Structures are given as structure tokens and as C-alpha cells.
Amino acid sequence: MSLTQEKCLKMYTDMWRIRLFEEEANRQTNLGNVVGTLHMYCGEEAVAVGVCANLRDDDYVLGTHRSHGHCIAKGAESDKMMAELFGKATGTCKGKGGSMHVADFSLNMLGANGIVGAGIGPTTGTALASKIRGTDQVSVCFFGDGAAARGTFHEAIAMGSLWQLPVVYVCENNGYQQWVPRKNVAVVDSVADMAGSYSIPGVSVNGQDAIEVYEVIAEAVARARSGGGPSLIEARTYRFYGHSLGDEQQYRTEEEVEERKLNADPINILRDFMTERNWLSSADDDQVQQRAGDEITRAAKFAEESPWPEMGEVGTDVLFDAKEVA
């Protein structure tokens, strides 16, 4: 898919929607309105938007424990997502999933996942299903650098390669695995280098730059869609917040975080790209931010005013017998 002004504006807008959604979710958590913890995606937005801007509505996406951005970029509605975080009946999963399990099957966004690396196998599965059915849908899996150390990564990618499945494996390498710097535990610096072990293309990209992500993913998606098999893309990125709530971040300095915010904010990088081409005036920019802000304010109001699930709903859509908890 070629890069157009419209495409850039969509990615830019979605980055603001993700950023403001998360900042509001963080604020609502501090107010006690969000059930459970949050894993903030701020700083990594260019990966989600650069990938999803290449996808069709019927393509499959599986996420991670840090998936608000993946869901919004795939088209999930922010009001239903916020309601999900609040545990309300109007949430994308009727309030039963929360932040770590937001899913919207109507968009083929098959879900965030609290288990590190657990989406890689199912993505290989959806890709296998598409191949057997003869559709040209592509499956994309997001996972962290920590997940690349799990057995599921090796097993699933080996199968994806063996069967030449239409899948793009996207590793968000943010340099940390919870509180552990990747350099302390990984023997291979670049996750993309691991692609050679499975005879598939591996590319490392600057994950702060939505355009770079977009272009590399465009090629990988085209290859997958035309029967050329899987790719492994490593997006080098950085999270601006701690791993999850209450993280004192003793494993990195404040200076490091401030430097990244100053020099590697994906929103600023895309804004500069568009401004240089006269694709975004400052009035357009104000409008994008205003609209995104209004949307997120409405989403929080919607979540707050939504009803709690009925007690009778406790046993539906979940894998346990409601009688056991009655």
C-alpha cells in the first residue's frame, strides 16, 4: 500500500487517540475507576499504527499485555475499550476482560493477552486457517522482546515457516522485559537476527518512526498475502512509563527516559515528517488533538455512566460453571 497524506494523517490521528486514551486510563486508575493494573503503551505508538495501517478489516491481529494501542489502531472503539477497563457491561468483552484482555472479534482483533508470548501460537493458527480456507487474509502477532525468549516463539515461527503461512511476526523490542534490561539476559541483540534460524526474512526497524514501520510492514504484508510466507520484524522502541502501575523503575535512570521523550517521541517524528511535506498545518494539528481529546473525554464519560454487568451474566462467555461460584 503506497504512503499517502491521508494514510499519514490517519496514523498521526491514531497515535494521538492512543496517547490520550492511555493518559486518561492512567488518570482513571488513580481515581480508582479502573479494575486491575495497566501496562502503558505510550512511546510505542508508531509500531501499532505503522503495522495496522497496512491491514484490511478482515486481517487478524493478536496482541500482548500492552495492547491498548494495537486495539485502537485495528479499529476498536475507545468508549467500549474504556468501559472494558472499568469492568462495565458495555465493554468490548462485557467487562470481563479488562485492560489485559481487550478483544473485538468483529474487527478480527482476537485479543490482548496476559500471558507473555501466548499470542504467537494462535496467530500461526489463524494464518493456517486462512491458508486452508483459501482466503488471502494476513495474520499479525505483536509480542515483546521478552516473549521472543519463550518456547512458543520458536515453535510457532518454525511451523509458520515450514507451512509458508501468511503471517507477520512483529516483535516490539523496547529493551526491557518487565524490570530486566534485555542486554542482561539476551545473547542475541537483535530479535530480527533470529529469523535466519527459521529461513524467513528478518528486518529490524526504528519503531519510533511510523513511516519506517509502515514501509517495512507493507512489504511483509504483501509477501504474506501473495503466498510468500512469514516475516519477522523487530521494531526497536521505548516505553515512556514503567512496566505497569507501581513500577519504581530502578533499572533505568530518569535521564534516559527524558532523553527518549525528547528525541524519540513517535508523535513528534511523524509530525516533523508531515510538516516538511506540507501535509500537516498547525491548524490541522490542533484539530487532530482537539478531536482526539473530545473523543477520549466522551469515552471516559461513557464508561463512568455505563451499568455494571448483571450477576446473571457471570457465567456467560467464560470457561467455568457459574453454579460453582453461586
Ligand X SMILES: Cc1ncc(C[n+]2csc(CCOP(=O)(O)OP(=O)(O)O)c2C)c(N)n1
Q: Is position 145 an interface residue for Mg ion (rule: CB under 5 A)?
A: yes
List the single partner that 209 binds among Mg ion, ligand X, none, CB under 5 to 8 Å by kind: none
Q: Is position 144 an interface residue for Mg ion (rule: CB under 5 A)?
A: yes
Min CB(129)–ligand X separation in Å: 24
Q: By beta-carbon distance, which residue lies closest to Mg ion?
A: 144
Q: Is position 66 an interface residue for ligand X (rule: CB under 6 A)?
A: yes
Q: Is position 147 an interface residue for ligand X (rule: CB under 6 A)?
A: yes
Q: Looking only at residues 195 through 254 of this chain, which bind ligand X when binding is defined by CB under 6 A?
A: 243
List the single partner that 115 binds among Mg ion, ligand X, none, CB under 5 to 8 Å by kind: ligand X
List the single partner that 112 binds among Mg ion, ligand X, none, CB under 5 to 8 Å by kind: none
Q: Is position 234 an interface residue for Mg ion (rule: CB under 5 A)?
A: no
Question: Rounded to whole angstroms, how far apart are CA atoms 96 and 179?
Answer: 28
Query: Number of residues in contact with ligand X, rule: CB under 6 A?
Result: 16
Nearer to ligand X, 115 or 318 (CB): 115
Question: Rounded to whole angstroms, how far apart are CA atoms 256 and 245?
Answer: 19
Q: Which three-class secondary structure string do you get for the chain?
A: CCCCHHHHHHHHHHHHHHHHHHHHHHHHHHCCCCCCCCCCCCCCHHHHHHHHCCCCCCCEEECCCCCHHHHHHHCCCHHHHHHHHHCCCCCCCCCCCCHHHCCEHHHCECCCCCCCCCCHHHHHHHHHHHHHHCCCCCEEEEEECCHHHCHHHHHHHHHHHHCCCCEEEEEEECCEECCEEHHHHCCCCCHHHHHHHHCCCEEEEECCCHHHHHHHHHHHHHHHHCCCCCEEEEEECCCCCCCCCCCCCCCCCHHHHHHHHHHCCHHHHHHHHHHHCCCCCHHHHHHHHHHHHHHHHHHHHHHHHCCCCCHHHCCCCCCCCHHHHC
Min CB(138)–ligand X separation in Å: 22
Min CB(146)–Mg ion separation in Å: 5
Q: Is position 167 an interface residue for ligand X (rule: CB under 6 A)?
A: no
User: Which residues are bridge partners to 144 per DSSP?
Assistant: 172
Nearer to ligand X, 65 or 101 (CB): 65
Min CB(76)–Mg ion separation in Å: 23
Q: Which of the stretches 116-124, 171-179, 242-250, 301-309 binds Mg ion when contact is defined by CB under 5 A?
A: 171-179
Q: Which of 29, 174, 231, 306 binds ligand X (CB under 6 A)?
A: 174
List the single partner that 178 binds among ligand X, Mg ion, none, CB under 5 to 8 Å by kind: ligand X
Q: Which of 1, 26, 36, 114 binds ligand X (CB under 6 A)?
A: 114
Q: Is position 174 an interface residue for Mg ion (rule: CB under 5 A)?
A: yes
Cell 455494571 found at? 308
- Of the candidates 194, 192, 190, 141, the residue with the CA atom closest to the CA atom of residue 165: 141
Question: Rounded to whole angstroms, how far apart are CA atoms 46 and 245?
Answer: 22
Q: Is position 242 an interface residue for Mg ion (rule: CB under 5 A)?
A: no
Name the grid cell of 93: 468483552
Q: Which of the stretches 102-110, 114-122, 162-170, 223-231 binds ligand X when contact is defined by CB under 6 A?
A: 114-122
Q: Is position 101 an interface residue for ligand X (rule: CB under 6 A)?
A: no
Q: Is position 115 an interface residue for ligand X (rule: CB under 6 A)?
A: yes
| Footprint of ligand X (CB under 6 A) | 64-66, 114-116, 144-147, 172, 174, 176-178, 243
| Footprint of Mg ion (CB under 5 A) | 144-145, 174
